[in-house]
Amino acid sequence: HYDAEGKIMEEGIINDSAKYDGEIKWYYPSGAVRIAGFYRDTVPFGDWNEYYPDSSNKARYSYIKGKLSGSYKYYHPNGYLWTERYYKEGKLWNVLIINDSKGKPLAKGDLTDGTGSVKVYDENNVETALLFYKYDFLVASANLPNPSLRRLSTNQYDDNRR
């Protein structure tokens, strides 16, 4: 697919049903690859890569049967690893590391096997949110623009779901 100016925005394999099936790439207006991955009969699978406009790595992750699976690495624009997370059947299972923009470790929370907290940081290394998971479901989140919690939202969950 091309934009109105004739610049490529997307390329890939589309099957007889007009659905993605095979390698697919999306592009920035500059022509640099933005996202590259694979579909199998419209379902994401295999290794995916995202890039910043300068073509440096932004994220690397994998899908199995349309669900995030295994290591998910996200990078700061300067190339340092920002976070590495582990997904199990599409659910956030563990946060292995969170680094600041200079590669120094930041507090990550205590998420283990889908239960616990995850700290979220912005590009200036400021903690902006705290997420709470139970049995791999997000049950609460707190925005932290300053030391006091401005908003706490919770979702109902059933302790007997597992």
Q: What is the pLDDT of residues 21-54, one digit of tens each?
A: 889 999 999 999 999 999 988 899 999 999 999 9
Q: What is the mean pLDDT of each run of 10 residues along the chain (162 residues)?
A: 82 80 92 95 93 97 96 96 96 96 96 95 90 90 60 38 38
Contacts (Cβ under 8 Å, ≥6 apart) of 50: 34, 35, 57, 58, 59, 60
The Cα 157–Cα 134 span in angstroms is 8
Q: Is 0.85 topped by the overall pTM?
A: no
Q: What is the pLDDT of residues 73-85, one digit of tens each?
A: 999 999 999 999 9
